[in-house]
Structures are given as structure tokens and as C-alpha cells.
Structure 1
Amino acid sequence: MGVICMASCCYNTRMVQSVNKRVFYTALSGVVILLGAIVAIQYAKGNFRVTNAGFRANTGLLSANSFPTGAQVKINGRLVSATDDTLYLEPDTYNVEILKDGYQPWSKQLQISSELVTQTDALLFPIAPSLSTLTFTGAEHLLPSPDGLKILYFTASMSAEQKNGLYVLDLTSSPFPLQKGPRQILADTSGLDLEHAQATWSPDSSEILLTTPNRELLLQADRKNELASLSDVSFRRKQLLAEWEEEMYLRERQFMKEFPKEIVAIATQSAQNAYLSPDKKRLMYTATADLELPSILVPAIPARSTQSETRTLVPGGIYIYDREEDTNFQVATVAVESLELSKQLLADDVFSNTPRTLEASPSAFHTLQATTSAETAHKFARYHSPLFGNSYQWFPDSSHLLYTTDTEVRVVSYDTTNPTTVYSGPLSANFVYPWPDGKRLIILTSFSPSAPANLYAVELE
């Protein structure tokens, strides 16, 4: 019996020791994993860096990325890497250059802060872009759709008269985008006089209200419309435009709610020609009064833009406000337009509890309806795109702006850095429009005095 007790005690002792060892090793493993995670996190944030110059703490990160990739990265004139790469740098201000053969150089002064990531997001443009022909028989009265995916135009240069008329050029992306040619949506006839017609897109870009000297028609944008099957909609034109304006008002109200109240007040009361970026995070506007933006409107996000901004507004200044970074950059100065010619926002009640409705306030949705059909068409076109104000346009990436000079098409970052000429040559009517994916630009030009102006794609890749 004593032997059994001794054996049992020895067994229990060994069991306790075994359990204690397992607990110890488990706890030790947990501590090692925890310490490893802490070190990894701090390492990723820029701490605990060992460089050729020795140990460095509290470094910042530069994410050197470019489109396209594979470009050289120079910092303060010294070649250090290639895109895309992440570099650990001591907090300071650096002159960063990104260079690639066949593309125009990119450079910017960037401030690197401790434990924060700063991205270059360098968009590189080719030095010698190629041109592709989009139309061959002339293009007049160009009108982009509100969604930016179509362009309506008129042609009267076809050898076969039945092929003259209105066409829609689709800008949707596909494996062979330039092989999808324009489609005719309405043939011209002697009774229509399409050359002097006025067109207005519906807010959803599916319909076109066409006002001719003799009748008004509602066209479908995705097919050919047969004149014999179209009814005159003159009797409900005002109601139709009011319904469209209500839709535009509600959409604008929804997007503007995301901006600080102070910016909304400026955009609706002390500015003109306000246009949201494609991602709805930035607002381009032209101030009409002397104002001062508060130094802080929303809490600043980490690694916001460190470029010099402008909080003092002057009449005629064109500004870009970023609602996430709470930054405001002045990109240009122009003459303030008259109220009749400029674009005014429809939603002046963004933060009221109840939006206006056409049923309750019919007169509230006649803002864009003028005394003539030409003025009305221009007001709707101007509302949808700054193209018709001969001003800056948003590039599809929401980080760049597109504009023209006498013979140049240029792209500049929203923070006013890296203005780049992407096309230099003849332009007709200063028409330039970005392809929705940003891979090409559309220009209207003619390379022969005897030839009509046509649409061309400037390849940016």
C-alpha cells in the first residue's frame, strides 16, 4: 500500500511539473507573439529601423507609386528606388522626382511625418501621345451626357443624305473601345433642320429632349429613333424639364450633405460654377465675395496634403475644397460671371429636414428654364459640365484637373502641382473631354482647312 502511495505521489508531482511547463511555454509563446506583433507594428510605422547610418527611430514612410509603374524614384536628386516601393525616411521635407523613359517627369515637395504614410500617386503622361480618329465625317454641336459616358453630336457631311443627323459616341470601356463607332440616333430631314436644333440630356443620360424650329421630340439615346414614330412633346416640355430639375436637385442635395455647413453656405450663397469631383469628395467652385475659411472645418486626417493651401477667398478665385483633408487650394483666378451666365447650385436647402418636391412647389423647379430654348439648353449643359464655361474640368481620377490654353491641353493636380501639357496643336472650339477611364482625351480638331472638324482620341498610356 505504501509503495502504491509513493508511486501515486511521484506521478502527481510529474503531472504538476508537466502542467506547469506547458503553462510556462504557452505563456512564453504568447509573450513572444505579443512582442513580435508590437515590434512588427512599430517597424511598419517607421520605428526600430536599422539603416546604413545606424539605428533610426520614428521614421516616416513614403509610398512611391506611379501610373504606370516601373519609374525611377529620386529623392533630393539621388536615385533611391523604382515605383512601386515603400521607403522609410526621417521626418523632413523632400524633393521627390519620378522619372520614366517616354513620359513627362513628375516632381513634388513632400513632407514626411513620423509614423505616417505619404503617397506620391504620380500620374505620368507620355511625351509623344498618339492620336486615333473617332469620327470621319465631321462633328458639330457636341454635347456630353451627364454621366460622362456619351457624346451627342451632329454631322451633315455624309455622302448619303440619310446618314446625316444626330449621332451618339459611346465612351464605355471595352477590350476594343475604338472599334465601337458612333451610332446614328436620328436621321436629318428637310422638315427637322437638325443643324439649328437644341438638345438637352435627361439627368440619367438615357433620353434627349430635342427642340427644332418646328417640333420638340424626346429621343432614346441607345437606339435609332424613327421620325414617323415620334410624337411632339411641346405640350409637356415645361413639366418634363421641371421633373428633370427636381431629380438633379435631389441628387445634388444628397452629395452636398457630406460637406461642412460652411462650405455649403459658400457654394450656395457666395460662389458660382460649383462642380463636384467624380468621387464626390472634392468641390471646385469660383468665389464671388471676399471670405475667410475657418482654419479647421473638420478634424484633419493623418497624412493629409502638405502643399500650401489658401483659406482666404477672393472674388474670381477658382478653388478646390477637399472634404476629407479639409484643404482648400486656389488653382486660378478668373472674372466673375453674371448671375444669368454662371451655374448656380439648385440645392440651397441642403440641411433642412424636408426637401422640396415638384408637387408641393412647382415653381421651385423652373430655375434652368429660360425664355428661349437655346438659353434653356445652355443652362442645362452648363449645369452638368464646366466644359461650357471654358474653364477647368475634373479628370476622372478626381485628383487632377483638365484645362486648355490657346493651343494646349493641360492637366494639373488638384493641389496645383505638376501642370503638364498633354497635347499641343490645333483645337476647334476649345473642345476637350476626358474618356471615363482617364486613358485618353477627346479633342475636336481639323488638320486640313478644307476638312470638317472631327473627334480624335489622344492616347495617354
Structure 2
Amino acid sequence: MISVKSLPDGARIFLDGNLALATNTTLGNLKGGTYKLRLEKDGYSSWEKDVPVKEELVTFVDVVLIPRSVEIKPLTTSGVNYPVINSNKDKIYFIAKVNSDLDTPQKSGLWALDLNSSIFNIFKTAASLIFPDTKTLAYSSADLLDLSPSDNQMLIKMNEKGYYLADLSGTDLPVATTTAVPTQNNWQKQVLAKKKTLSDKYKLGVPLSEISTDPNTIWSPDEKKFVYKKKNEKGDSWQFYVRNLSDPLGVGEENEYLVATVSLDSKTEFGWYPDSKHLITSECDSAKQPCVSGSIHLVEIDGTNNTQIYSGSMSLGSVFPTPDGSKIIILATFNQSAPPNLYAISLR
């Protein structure tokens, strides 16, 4: 038996080349074995996979179909710097410096974009100005933003020796500080403690316990998987792996998958799609810094169905899926004379 779901639904299901039903549905009366499953929907890239079936068990297949031609809408228009996303992946903070003939400093400063809201132009509904520039302090001139693991504090770096520590849960103004080291060290300890709690929960031994708590390891939203990278045996490439700690494993699932292998100089980043069953990969077109263009793909955790979502202007590290997975937010520049802005790529 195969339970087949797709986003969006209504995709045609082909089983061993024969048209069966349409998603979402369950294919029953199947003998044990491996079946070639293919999904097609007009306007979307097709999906195909060999799916194992065991009698009296259900094989679950969850598919995300990608439009062949995605819709891209601007979320900001006046320029964005240093966007960061919170740990819940539902809010993006960024710096905006607005220059106009009317000189409107009230729109310059630190902004927050709520990804759970209806996303339109930020100056209408979806974003709010957290800390506006004043005559004596221009938050829009910040060099970097750094969020705490609990999302209630932020370090605003103004220069090499000057920081402001902001309380995002209250109404107090940010407090000036000459060093960020104690705060950053404390935050790193909090991140490590959370990862260690998860490692202990699954009773991971060496080396998995060390891998699972590494600063570069990224746990999935459902906290049942993590993605990490290591060099291959020859030491000439990076290999990205997903460790699957689900218990019990589903039909056909494995404890570990090799998702991708890339060259050492490749500028490639992996992040989780909200369903914890897919990864979002971002890759620069060139190893040169900074990254100004590249491509974004959606890939299943076993490395199959690697499908391109977008190719063009982008900034590595600034690729954020919305909580429902319906959009990907990017920082991009489509006009060389204009500053970068946030854009929403619609997947459905």
C-alpha cells in the first residue's frame, strides 16, 4: 500500500508507467516489491522515484512539486541589509536605510518581517519598524545583526568596537556595549546545550554525539534528523549527509543518506524545508566573494529529486522558506543601480 500526497494536490499518479489515480490518495492491493512511481501536474516539474512496498505495511510518499516558472514578488523596495531569521523561522529582521527627496528617517532603522502574515509590500502590512533611526543614532548604519538562540535579544554591530544589545521582547531601547564577546559566548553555550539535549535524547554515541553537537550541524524542524558535512576519504570534496533518527523508520527509509558531494571551493549551503523531509540547497555560481548570483534547489533527504527552484541574483545565507513552505524569501538585486531587496518566490 502506498499513501501518496503532493503539494499542490491533484497530480496525476503513474504506477509502473500506468495512469492510476490523482493525489492525494492511497494505492492499495499491491504486492510486495519495488514500484516506479511518477507524479505529473501541468505547470510543475515532474517527480519520479522507485518506491518499496511491503505487504500489510504503508509506504508514505510526500511530494513537493516545483513550478516550472515561479512567480517572484518584491517585499521591499528601498534596500535591505543583513537579514537574519529567528530560530522559529517565522520572522526576518533586517536593516533598511531609506533615502528620498522628502527625507523620511522614520522609515530607516531595524525592521521585522512576519512570515506568518500575508506578505505584501512591507510598508503596508507584513513588516514593522522595531527601532527607527534617531538624530543621534542611526541603526540603519549597522554592520551586522546577530540574534540570540531564544530570539529575545539581538546584538547590533555598529563598528568594530561598538555594539548595541537590544531586548526584542520589551519596549526598552538598545543598550550600548563595547564588547559582544561575553554575550556571544553565552549564546553559543545555549545552542550547544540544546543540541546536547537532543543528542542525549537519542543516546547517540561517539562520533554521532560529536557530529550532532557541532556548530555547523543543522537539526531539522521536527528534531528527528540533522544535516552535516565532512570531507571525503581523499579530502578533495565536501560530502553532505542527513542522519535520520526517526523510530521506527518508515518503509524504505534508512538511518543515513549521502545527499550531495561538492568541491572544496564550492559555495554551497544546506537548510531545512519546513516539512523536515526536504532540504533547500543554495549554491553560488562562482567561488568569488561576495556571492551575487546562484541557484536554489529543493532535494529530498535521500538526495533524490533534486529540483531547481530559482537561478539568478541571490545572496548566500539569505534564503529563507516561509513556515508553510509556500514561498522562499531571498535577498537579490535585479537592477545593478539599485540596492538589494527581499523577494518572495512563490512555490504554489
Q: Would you say same fold, with TM above 0.5? A: yes
Whole-angstrom distance in 2 between the partners of 1:166 and 1:390: 28
Select the residue among 220, 223, 246 that pairs with 2:189.
246
CA shift, 1:188, in A, is 3.3
Closer/same/farther in 2, CA of residues 314 and 436 from structure 1, 3 Å limit? farther
Whole-angstrom distance in 1 between the partners of 2:130 and 2:278: 33
Whole-angstrom distance in 2 between the partners of 1:102 and 1:316: 34
Closer/same/farther in 2, CA of residues 327 and 130 from structure 1, 3 Å limit? same
1:201 corresponds to 2:147: yes
| Stretch deviating more after TM superposition (206-215 or 115-124) | 206-215
Whole-angstrom distance in 2 between the partners of 1:222 and 1:177: 23
| Stretch deviating more after TM superposition (65-74 or 409-418) | 65-74
Pick the structure with more strand per residue. Answer: 2
Select the residue among 296, 319, 333 that pairs with 2:241.
319
Gap regions ≥5 residues in structure 2: 286-293
Select the residue among 74, 78, 82 that pairs with 2:14.
74
Q: Deviations over 1:23-59 (max 9, x none)?
A: xxxxxxxxxxxxxxxxxxxxxxxxxxxxxxxxxxxxx
Q: Deviations over 1:379-413 (max 9, x none)?
A: xxxxxxxxxx7411111111111112434221011
1:221 corresponds to 2:168: yes
2:216 is matched with which residue? 273
Map 1:29-428 → 2, pairs under 5 A: 61-87=1-27, 88-159=29-100, 160-171=104-115, 173-174=116-117, 176-178=118-120, 180-188=125-133, 192=137, 194=139, 195-213=141-159, 215-221=162-168, 226=173, 230-234=174-178, 237-259=180-202, 260-262=204-206, 264-265=208-209, 267=211, 273-288=216-231, 290=233, 316-324=238-246, 325=249, 326-334=254-262, 390-405=268-283, 406=285, 407-428=294-315
Secondary structure of 1:280's partner?
A: coil
* Residues 286 and 315 in structure 1, CA contact (< 8 A), matched pair in contact too: no
Closer/same/farther in 2, CA of residues 426 and 242 from structure 1, 3 Å limit? closer
Count of equivalent residues: 322
Whole-angstrom distance in 1 between the partners of 2:136 and 2:320: 32
The residue type equivalent to 2:145 in the other structure is A
Whole-angstrom distance in 1 between the partners of 2:90 and 2:152: 11
Secondary structure of 2:217's partner?
A: strand
2:331 is matched with which residue? 444
Closer/same/farther in 2, CA of residues 223 and 181 from structure 1, 3 Å limit? farther
1:433 is matched with which residue? 320
| Stretch deviating more after TM superposition (202-211 or 156-165) | 156-165
CA shift, 1:121, in A, is 1.0
Whole-angstrom distance in 1 between the partners of 2:320 and 2:312: 15
Closer/same/farther in 2, CA of residues 268 and 103 from structure 1, 3 Å limit? closer
* Residues 260 and 303 in structure 2, CA contact (< 8 A), matched pair in contact too: no
Pick the structure with more helix per residue. Answer: 1
Closer/same/farther in 2, CA of residues 318 and 72 from structure 1, 3 Å limit? same
Q: CA RMSD in A?
A: 2.9
The residue type equivalent to 2:166 in the other structure is L
1:382 is matched with which residue? none
Q: Deviations over 1:104-143 (max 9, x none)?
A: 2111111212222112211112222222221111111222
Question: Normalised by the size of structure 2, how large is the TM-score?
Answer: 0.82
Q: Deviations over 1:270-328 (max 9, x none)?
A: x772111111111111124759xxxxxxxxxxxxxxxxxxxxx9973110110123521
* Residues 277 and 301 in structure 2, CA contact (< 8 A), matched pair in contact too: yes
Larger radius of gyration: 1
Q: Deviations over 1:332-379 (max 9, x none)?
A: 224569xxxxxxxxxxxxxxxxxxxxxxxxxxxxxxxxxxxxxxxxxx
